[in-house]
Amino acid sequence: MQHFWLRHEVKEGEGRSPLLPTHAAALIQKGHKVSVERSATRCVADALYEEAGAQLVETGSWVNAPKDAVILGLKELPESNDALVHNHIFFAHCFKGQGGSAELLNRFKSGGGTLWDLEFLTLDNGRRVAAFGRAAGIAGMAVGLLVWAYKQLDPLSVSPCPPLVERFQNYDELATYVKQFLDKAKEKSGKLPTVIVIGALGRCGGGSVDFAEKVGITPTKWDLDETKKGGPFPEILQHDIFVNCIYLMTKIPPFVTSEGIAGPGRVLSVIADVSCDTSNPNNPIPVYNQTTTFLKPTLRATQGDNPLDVIAIDHLPSLVPAESSKEFDDALIEHLLAYPNTPVWTRAKDLFHQKTKEVLG
């Protein structure tokens, strides 16, 4: 039997959970032990875990958890150089050359711990067992539309979007919120935005397209067929909003360039980079170099009469934390119940050792 330890998320604005109380109960019913760190930011109350049979423990106490505990989380660990002695399950973002990859992998190597990266838990056909892609696409489109609307309502503002502090119970509630801003923007500007989605046939892109249509926008949908010739693509510059939803695995020509966005005739004023490969050396949107946050949603890539603003929030589904968590956790739980004795877990563990060897030798 396993001891799963759900840690508190330290990332600002992160309210999702990879384990909801119903799923904790399922693990406990199968004889596993579940410890849950207290969290004031998680999308469900601590008491619901306790009611499900889990043991509540102090925030951040995973570092002193029994060595056989499996530490379960979503986003990055607290910054530290300490060796990692536990087995961890979370989105580590360290297998594709991202910034900080070597340092994190060295912490595992030094402590003898193992990483099962949630991004690389895959079925035999290569499809991920659980993903936030659809939720990310929905939230990315929502924020992109909000930023565009704010820019119509206050075109002289140097900060085109106020802090996004509100969280939504479900996607319908989010759509209602966005629609009211689009209506106000249309009343002032006389139009709705033109939108292009790249990666439109995937889970992420599909969510983005669906949300746009829900609020009355019919986006241009591009996928592999439209991008196979290689960028940059001047067509992107002729839309008001560009939503990037691709899953980047290898280097590809850039979709847009700094030279292109500085040229005459550009319509584009908002990029919502849902893929958010900011620290990836192969980032196909090399017009910015840092992530944004819910408290500061945009950064300005160009000034002038039509300034271009980029959204690069790397945990967009946290805008709708409860519903996105349920979608993800419903898919993950059957694999947690079988941890670590299936090909899903074996492949992920082998990949961890392969990447550690490649990066650290």
Spatial separation of the C-alpha atoms in residues 140 and 211, rounded to whole Å: 10
Q: Does 309 count as an annotated binding residue? A: no
pLDDT score recorded for residue 95: 93
Number of CB atoms found within 10 A of residue 101's CB: 19
Task: Give the pLDDT confidence of 327-352 residue by residue, as tens digits.
Answer: 999 999 999 999 999 999 999 999 99
315 pLDDT tier (thresholds 50, 70, 90)? very high
pLDDT score recorded for residue 157: 84
326 is catalytic: no
111 pLDDT tier (thresholds 50, 70, 90)? very high
Kindly state the helix (H) or strand (E) to which residue 311 belongs, with its residue range: strand 308-311
Q: Does 270 count as an annotated binding residue? A: no
* 8 A C-beta contact, residue 141 and residue 316: no
Residue with tokens 């067509």: 235
Residue with tokens 């919120």: 177
pLDDT score recorded for residue 29: 98
Residue with tokens 């939503």: 243
Spatial separation of the C-alpha atoms in residues 225 and 221, rounded to whole Å: 11
pLDDT score recorded for residue 139: 98
Q: Does 27 count as an annotated binding residue? A: no
11 is catalytic: no
Spatial separation of the C-alpha atoms in residues 206 and 243, rounded to whole Å: 11
Q: Does 183 count as an annotated binding residue? A: no
* pTM of the entire predicted model: 0.93
Q: Where would I find the H helices in 163-231? A: 171-189, 203-214, 224-227
Please pick, among 3, 32, 33, 75, the residue that the annotation labels catalytic.
75
**Domains of the chain, CATH where assigned:** 3-120+323-360 (3.40.50.720), 133-319 (3.40.50.720)
The mean pLDDT of 198-223, rounded to a whole number, is 98
Q: What is the DSSP track for 313-357?
A: BTTGGGGSHHHHHHHHHHHHHHHHHHTTSSHHHHHHHHHHHHHHH
Candidates 114, 118, 10, 112; CA nearest to 61 is 10
178 pLDDT tier (thresholds 50, 70, 90)? very high
184 exposure class (CB count in 10 Å sphere: 0-12, 13-18, 19+): middle
361 pLDDT tier (thresholds 50, 70, 90)? confident
Q: What is the DSSP track for 36-88?
A: EE--SSSSS-HHHHHHTTPEEE-TTGGGGS-TTEEEE-SSPPPS------SEE
Please pick, among 11, 93, 326, 355, the residue that the annotation labels catalytic.
93
Contacts 24+ apart (CB under 8 A), 158-161: 158/300, 159/296, 159/298, 160/298, 160/307, 160/309, 161/297, 161/298, 161/309
Q: Does 302 count as an annotated binding residue? A: no
First-to-last alpha carbon distance for the chain, in angstroms, is 34
Task: Give the pLDDT confidence of 237-248 residue by residue, as tens digits.
Answer: 999 999 999 998
Q: Does 150 count as an annotated binding residue? A: no
pLDDT score recorded for residue 160: 86
pLDDT score recorded for residue 16: 98
Q: Does 287 count as an annotated binding residue? A: no
Q: Does 223 count as an annotated binding residue? A: yes
Task: Give the pLDDT confidence of 63-75 residue by residue, as tens digits.
Answer: 999 999 999 999 9
Number of CB atoms found within 10 A of residue 16's CB: 27
* 8 A C-beta contact, residue 12 and residue 293: yes
Residue 279 pLDDT greater than 90, yes or no: no
Q: Does 36 count as an annotated binding residue? A: no
* 8 A C-beta contact, residue 205 and residue 199: yes
Residue 126 pLDDT greater than 90, yes or no: yes
